[in-house]
Chains A and B, each alone.
Chain A
Amino acid sequence: MTAPVTDRAAVSTPERASFGPLLRAEWTKFRSVRGWVIGMIVGVFLAILVGVFAAGNASIGCNLGPNSPQLSGKACLPYVPIGPGGEAVTDSFYFVRQPLAGNGSITVRVTSLTGKYSVGGVVRAIPGQSPGAGMTPGLVPWAKAGIIIKASTRQGSAYAAMMVTGAHGVRMQWNYTHDTAGLAGAVTTGAPRWLRLIRSGSTISGYDSADGRHWTLVGTVQLSGLPSTVQAGLFAASPQYLKIIPFFGGGNIRSGPSLATAVFADTSLHGNWPAAKWTGTPIGNAKNGSYPDAGGGFRQAGSQLTVSGSGDIAPVVPGPGSSVPSSVIEQSLAGLFAGLIAIIVVAALFVTSEYRRGLIRVTFAATPDRGRVLAAKATIAALVAFAAGLVAAIVCVAVGVPRQRNEGLYILPVSALTEARVLVGTAVMVALAAVFAVAVGAIFRRSAAAVTAVIVAVVLPFLLAVTVLPNAAANWVLRLTPAAGFAIEQSVPHYSQVSTVYSAAGGQYPLSPLTGLGVLCAYTAAALMLAAWLLRRRDA
């Protein structure tokens, strides 16, 4: 079995040409077949048409108050604060504050954190009644209360906070997206938590303690652009109650507003606090949709302060946990599935039609090193598919995103770098799928079998994951199959400090963008190696 292989190597070595002419030969083959060029163009057009169509038909309707007319489309775009990192954020909570001029510190003991929630839709604060009247007792996991130092009362301004939470222990959070764990366990009268924030210039350090004597540094953060006088004090917030009933294609969700109430004792302040008294301010409000209007307030009795608040201080994520009807840029890339099928067909034909017409014998006679022929074909398919994918992705996003915005969907902003990663990554994914099709085409030598195999491997798992499979199974499918590559499209990351339904149907993949692409890459590499091995072993 090994003899012919050695033989061929001996023959081919002296005439081993450089890769360039081989590439040119394959490129000539590709561009001179009219059907393939048309197929690629059709793929790009399909991706754009379907994508732009899918993006532009949301027609969000809204009603901004009891007396306002029914609005739709762009008029419904909510005001969404933007955090220091450029991301959309929720910044609504009850703030009991004083100005702090220059450096200083604040220390408190939290003796209790309790909560209330409602699933019966919106519960409005009833004037003259204590906040939370008529709601069910219970804490949501990310209910939070503690101390905060914030650049100003403007929504989206920089901050750092130490807090106790409903189910995640003590945390230090800053600038919306950052979250560090401190002491574990819930806060009770028997097990209070001491929290401390120290400001020194633009540096803020957070400490926690279980006894008020032994302190642990949880984190030290730099808040750039912090003014000399900042707002500091106590806060309480409670994101919407979310009950997720695991179901198919995501989950069945019941949600409603919630309210957290924390009791603080022995507040001690160091530094220059010129106001010398606490002011209660609700940050954010129900009008812009970001503050679930369950009320909030504070009460002072001796050295004890009770603060109630609703809302959240966190990034906005797409999906049912989102406080605004939001969308993401990759939503416009839906048409890619249609385009991808056309590109897979062309890429498979690029190999299989040589077998059908017998051209493969001429090709192998001209270049006896069959692995290099495969490499040249894969390279040309990858380059062409990359170009097609890039054009399709750029046009889809450039046209689809403004259309979605026009329909009243808030598109979660991402950095230019992230947007570039989504667009270029999508093109790379299309290129990898094309190379996968080339390899599978070389393995099967039959176009129909190759096309079916690649579509079943790449598109079908995604379809199963977003439509019929329950969440856990869907996540495994998107970890283990070539469809994992679609993760490269995800523009807004998973934030564990925000409760929502993280599902493939909601555009949240179980793997990080690059890992997901890596899985597709591994499948493609394995198929290429198998193809190269088979090409060498088999008669043409």
Chain B
Amino acid sequence: MTRVLRAEWTKLRTTPGPAWLLAALVVLTAVIGVTAVAATRCPTGLTCPVDTAKLSLTGVLAGQAVVATLAVLAVGTEYSTGMIRTTLTAMPRREFVLAAKAGLVGVLTAAAGAIAVGISVLDGRLILPGRGFTAARGAADLSLGSGPVLRAAAGSVLYLALVALLGLGVAALVRDSAVAIGLTLGLLYVFPVIVTFIAATRWQRRIERYTPMAGLNIQATTRLHSLPISPWAGLGVLALWAGGALLAGGLALRLRDA
């Protein structure tokens, strides 16, 4: 397993793509987060019981696209270049290959994601009080020392890592980068859009609870009782999706010809 890990690490380290994508993850998450925070203002004379942590972490919605790309490419490039045959000849335990990829991509994503999330929360903390979002006007306190904020921040890092695993599993399953990225982004972006269109509250709730978008509930720090699913359970739903995708991808990898 160590050899497999080292081989996969070498692949990720020596191609320019992953490093650029990790940098893009940090930049895109932070930029979208800062933009969302800077574009918001609590109107004078009103209280703003806004979930400041969730608002600061808006960039995660964009960052997840970069994470999905990184994960999909980790598998997809091997298929598009034919490298996969060499890989599997050198390392016949195919599930180890996928596990090594999942571990490395997950850890790298979590590391870059931690930086991105850290910047986002810091930005929110610096900018939001000046925009009228103070504790006196009902806004939640944005300090990593507070439990809910820590949960939102750490949970967002985990969310990004799980998105990486989802992308990896989908890519192993379909073996084509473009189709895999389309599927992964479809899973991540289409449901939240559909929910805003759908009229039936019953189906709205179901979609909010059981599709990958449930994972974003981890970002909530206030009014938890009104969430469709509790923060950790939501992240659990995404973990099930990611685990399911990895399992399906792993089985396909094992049973199919490369």
Contacts and interface: CB of A to CB of B under 8 A. Distances in A.
B39 A473 contact: yes
A464 interface: yes
Contacts of A338: 186, 190, 194
Nearest to A338: B190
A452 B197 contact: no
A404 interface: yes
A448 interface: yes
A407 to B, nearest CB: 7
A451 B184 CA distance: 11
Interface residues of A, number: 54
A50 B185 contact: no
A466 B182 contact: no
A201 B198 CA distance: 49
A349 B178 contact: yes
Interface string B16-43: 0000000000000000100110011101
A407 B200 CA distance: 10
Contacts of A456: 62, 65
B121 interface: no
B178 A447 contact: yes
A341 B199 contact: no
B36 A469 contact: yes
A341 B182 contact: yes
Nearest to A474: B39
Interface string B50-89: 1000110010011001101100110010001000000000
Contacts of B200: 57-59
Given A248-B50, A345-B179, A470-B40, A448 B69 contact: yes
Given A356-B80, A451-B182, A331 B197 contact: yes
Interface of B is mostly: helix
B255 interface: no
B58 A448 contact: no
A15 B198 CA distance: 55
A58 B197 CA distance: 11
B204 to A, nearest CB: 9
B202 interface: yes
B58 A468 contact: yes
Contacts of B198: 54, 57, 334
A341 B185 contact: yes
Nearest to B62: A460
Nearest to A356: B80
Contacts of B119: none
A505 interface: yes
Interface residues of B, number: 43
Interface in A40-75: 50, 53-55, 57-59
B194 A451 contact: no
B69 to A, nearest CB: 5
A476 B43 CA distance: 18
A159 interface: no
A448 B72 contact: yes
B194 A54 contact: yes
Contacts of B66: 452
Among B32, B73, B186, chain A packs the most CB atoms within 10 A around the CB of B186
A446 to B, nearest CB: 8
A50 B177 CA distance: 24
Nearest to A334: B197
Contact of B196 (A327, A335, A448, A466): A466
A342 B178 CA distance: 10
B168 to A, nearest CB: 13
A374 B192 CA distance: 34
B189 A448 contact: no
A409 B189 contact: no
B182 A407 contact: no
Interface string A505-526: 1000000000000000000000
26 contacts: A58-B200, A247-B50, A248-B55, A337-B189, A342-B182, A342-B186, A345-B182, A409-B199, A447-B181, A448-B72, A448-B73, A448-B76, A448-B177, A448-B180, A450-B178, A451-B178, A452-B65, A452-B66, A452-B69, A452-B185, A455-B182, A460-B62, A463-B189, A464-B61, A469-B36, A473-B40
Interface of A: 35, 39, 50, 53-55, 57-59, 245-249, 327, 331, 334-335, 337-338, 341-342, 344-345, 348-349, 352, 356, 404, 407, 409, 446-452, 455-456, 459-460, 462-464, 466-470, 472-473, 476, 505
